[in-house]
Amino acid sequence: MKRSAKITGRRIISLALTWDGARWPVKALSPKAQAFLGGPARKQESFTKSALTRLFAREDVDEIRICWTPWLKGGNDVLASPFPAPGNKRVSFQAVCQIRLGDNLGVVYHRVCNSVER
């Protein structure tokens, strides 16, 4: 449902999510939205919540690409689990680009270099 690409040992995580944080199948998106997430030709990796938690806790993610879909899925299957950040610091990302993709919204988030303490 998402892809990741290595850039100098770091990752770009791409996800299609509903407004409440539930995963949405990339195949259900328009071709334009799929291209924003890396396209169908790219290798698709499927991470579990715990795998994503480990990546963020180790600060191995530099960019997040999310295609927000205008639906709500509800239930417990959402990406809202807390995780411990290194040194009890907040992992900060900043939205750097927003693209309208029909009914969807594509947002690119980049890591902010200096993490803010809680």
Given a contact cutoff of 8 angstroms between Cβ atoms, the answer to whether 112 and 94 are in contact is yes
Domain tally, the chain: 1
Q: What is the pLDDT of residues 72-85, one digit of tens each?
A: 776 666 655 555 66
Q: What is the pLDDT of residues 9-25, one digit of tens each?
A: 567 888 898 888 788 88
What secondary structure does DSSP assign to 47-106, as a single string?
--HHHHHHHHHTT-EEEEEEEEES----SS-SS----PPGGGEE--EEEEEEEEETTEEE
| Structural domain containing residue 46 | 2-117
Given a contact cutoff of 8 angstroms between Cβ atoms, the answer to whether 72 and 7 are in contact is no
In which element (H, E) is residue 32 found? helix 31-36
Which is nearest to 11 in space by CA: 49, 53, 62? Answer: 62
- What pTM, to 2 d.p., does this model score? 0.69
